[in-house]
Structure 1
């Protein structure tokens, strides 16, 4: 695994990834736990896990948006399976009120990162700050080699984001389209699930394309029009 140079202590807020922009579905309790955590009325450590495309990154960004609205310092970073940043990234992060690390499983097996994160964890916790982590699996299944760090990852509250049913995915599509300012029918939503991609992250990207195409053509998103758009602009595999 390669390692990049130290990253600056700032990140880009994704403007459309707030709690208001998140389709809650069956995750109302999870959202409540996160919001209470940010305000200091909940757990100081939360571990979110679930399969890709269910909104873990969105929820971590939403936590930072809420922290900002409360004038709290926050930091978000998404770890990559192929390229870890220099662990010096962690220097000074213990001072932040809210720290969110996406895909924390990717530090497993990197002894330098495991040790650095263990030290950051202790400093951050000693100051009663809030740590929110996400992964594709529960903390006890992450192949962390440092025993004390593995133990600490299992502290706090562990929450699983459940997969969405097809009906929930369609409702999520309708919700997201409404947030973007246009309408999509349940029939159109089911067509997209059947003929495009069931991953919500990919569907959100598609909705942006559909919105632009609809505005440019000044047409509603009928099924024939959807078929035409998908033929003309095939998605990336």
Structure 2
């Protein structure tokens, strides 16, 4: 089967474990690295992982990073976000168990859609039966709070291991912002990173989106990322 890895095509930089600031999430990162590199599929191998956190804490980044690492191991993988389900057919889940790694994001978006829940339930059963596939799912809520209509699906999701993606403190948010700027070829000082944290949304994903505009205009104007430049560019 050909790969269907539908990762964002307009990313300014590759989302990997190298540019993810783990901090309190090191145990989760280590687990996902193990999942991505588990070529020897022996008993006890982590076949189902559930991650949860509020928006903007890096769940999707972790899924992309796991897919990227798995591909480096010559393993087939597929990424699908249920945020896009209105553009997809429920039959998309059929046959995914043929991949080595399946990453499903934004599970909460099927809370009011029973056909999608049934399809996911069936996929989990097929993955479990096959025994050599890894499945990673992400959502905003812990399992006990996941608003699904199908109780059996919640039961299946509890078969695996569960992780909460921890929030980064201010120091680690600065590190993450500086690191992602460096990936784009931008030099960002700690002072500029702190300025952005103090004047914009503290949601890291929203802050990183600002790098697109800063990247474009700093290149056009041949200017460094100083606080005055950031203030004028972002109208702060």
TM category, shorter: 0.7 to 0.9
Q: Tell me, what secondary structure is at the counterpart of 2:56?
A: coil
**Could you say which residue in structure 2 is the equivalent of 1:195?**
199
What is the aligned counterpart of 2:6 among 9, 12, 16?
12
Q: Distance in 2 between matches of 1:171 and 1:97?
A: 33
Structure 1 contact 84–107 (Cα < 8 Å) conserved: no
**Could you say which residue in structure 1 is the equivalent of 2:128?**
125
Structure 1 contact 13–65 (Cα < 8 Å) conserved: no
CA shift for structure 1 position 34? 0.4
Matched, 1:167 2:171: yes
**Could you say which residue in structure 1 is the equivalent of 2:19?**
21
CA shift for structure 1 position 188? 0.8
**Could you say which residue in structure 2 is the equivalent of 1:30?**
28
CA shift for structure 1 position 147? 2.2
- Map 1:53-92; keep pairs closer than 5 Å: 53-80=56-83, 83=86, 85-92=88-95
**Could you say which residue in structure 1 is the equivalent of 2:115?**
112
1:188-237 residue CA offsets vs partner (Å, 9 max, x unmatched): 11111121221111211211221222222222211111111112xx8xxx
- Change beyond 3 A, Cα 1:81–1:64: closer
Q: Distance in 1 between matches of 2:114 and 2:3?
A: 22
Q: Distance in 2 between matches of 1:111 and 1:79?
A: 13
Q: Distance in 2 between matches of 1:144 and 1:193?
A: 35
Structure 1 contact 140–154 (Cα < 8 Å) conserved: no
Moved more, 160-169 or 8-17: 8-17
Aligned residues: 225
Matched, 1:93 2:87: no
Structure 2 contact 3–76 (Cα < 8 Å) conserved: no
Structure 1 contact 104–134 (Cα < 8 Å) conserved: yes
CA shift for structure 1 position 141? 1.1
Q: Distance in 2 between matches of 1:173 and 1:227?
A: 17
CA shift for structure 1 position 109? 3.4
TM-score (norm 2): 0.88
1:8-42 residue CA offsets vs partner (Å, 9 max, x unmatched): 97243346112222222222211100011122275
Q: Tell me, what secondary structure is at the counterpart of 2:104?
A: strand
Structure 1 contact 102–135 (Cα < 8 Å) conserved: yes
Q: Distance in 1 between matches of 2:148 and 2:174?
A: 37
CA shift for structure 1 position 81? 7.9
**Could you say which residue in structure 2 is the equivalent of 1:209?**
213
